[in-house]
Amino acid sequence: MRHKRGFTLIEILAALAVLGLVIAMLGQGLRFGGNAASLRDRTRDQASEMEAAARTIRGLIENAAPARELSPAPFQGTHASMELRSALPLAGGSPAARRADVLLAVDSQQRLVLRWVPYLHAVRFGPPPAAQESILASGVAQLAIQYWGKPNDKSPPGWFSGWAGAGPPALIRVQVVFPPGSHRHWPDIVAAPRAEAARE
């Protein structure tokens, strides 16, 4: 009489060990896939943030109001901030309707912010409206801005870490600096104000 042969305890334990290894490898693969997807999403979001901020800064520089004898448009630039009159890069409306006095700087919370007050080409009868603010990027250590031009008749043209006058320089380079250890790096934003970009 033939006896039916079953699985031994060692065979069952070996099968369970192999099954455990397969499940562990599957879990590791799923975890790796999830991390890769999360990294891809973060990279895409950061690239979108960078493109939007760069487009905004470039638009502000290109649309900076030129100096005119009857309509001065002061431009104040330091190594870490920039104040100018420009057309805001907003959807809809004519450039004249979107003109504003703008400040671009990094605040105490390490945010790259754009503050603006609508520009009124008239005498105000009352206090100016409250400044509005948009956050262009977070986790920013500082701005490093340089200005190309000839600040006066006596000095040759060159790069300067500050600019003050009745109009913008010929070229502006903006570097967004991130804290040490940050994996983010943005290319420099270089733009030239268009002389007739912001007509009154």
Q: What pLDDT, in 10s, does the model give residues 167-185?
A: 789 999 999 999 998 888 8
pLDDT score for 113? 94
18 pLDDT higher than 80: yes
Bridge partners of residue 163, in order along the sequence: 77
pLDDT score for 196? 56
Which one, of 133, 138, 88, lies nearest residue 115 by Cα?
133
Q: What pLDDT, in 10s, does the model give residues 36-94?
A: 666 665 655 556 778 888 989 999 999 888 876 445 667 899 999 999 988 876 554 44
The structural domains of the chain, with segments of one domain joined by +, span 50-191
Q: How many CB atoms lie within 10 A of CB 51?
A: 11
Q: Pull the structure tokens for residue 182.
A: 């940050």
**Alpha-carbon gap, residue 59 to 95, rounded angstroms:** 11
pLDDT score for 22? 84
Q: What is the pLDDT confidence band of residue 95, given thresholds at 50, 70 and 90?
A: very low
22 HSE (CA, 13 A, CB side): 6
CA angle at 14 for the pair 12 and 20, rounded to the nearest 5°: 100
Tell me the mean pLDDT in the region 128-152.
88
